[in-house]
Structure 1
Amino acid sequence: MAYRCEICDKHTAHGNNVSHSHKKTKRVWRPNIQRVRARVNGRTQRIYVCTRCLRSGRVERAI
């Protein structure tokens, strides 16, 4: 599974879980990536897109 949006280039972010005692462990935040059929340069292609781009209308879906 690709963890990078092909439209806005959003990708995995890294950081720490911080407990009440301030103990830190590594964790990741992954964007909600969907594989959709979209119109790219007049052709239908399957691309990986984040749901924020889908919702905002940056991607023209091909149905």
Structure 2
Amino acid sequence: MAKCAICGKTTIFVNKVSHSHRVTSKKQRANLQRVKAIVNGEKKRIWVCTKCLKAGKVQKAI
């Protein structure tokens, strides 16, 4: 997937640590939703993270 059109949040790479402290690499993806939103006065489908949706940073098109 892409990244959030509002805040730019995207995939990050982290270390997964087991009980025996063996370290392996892991991807953490942002919770992105495809939303119809009003951008510059016109309706567009954009990828938006749920944090931006909950904060009201996106005006949804109906």
Give the match for residue 5 of structure 1: 4
Identity of aligned residues (%): 52
How much does 1:9 deviate?
A: 0.1
TM-score (norm 1): 0.93
How much does 1:20 deviate?
A: 1.2
CA distance in 1, matches of 2:38, 2:10: 22
How much does 1:54 deviate?
A: 0.5
- The count of aligned residue pairs is 62
Listed one character per residue, the Cα deviations across residues 1-59 of structure 1 (whole Å, up to 9, x for unaligned) are x2410110001110111011110111011111000000000000000000000110000
2:14 is the alignment partner of 1:39: no
TM-score (norm 2): 0.94
**Superposed structure 1 runs of 4+ greater than 4 Å apart:** none
Unaligned residue ranges in structure 2 (runs of 5+) = none
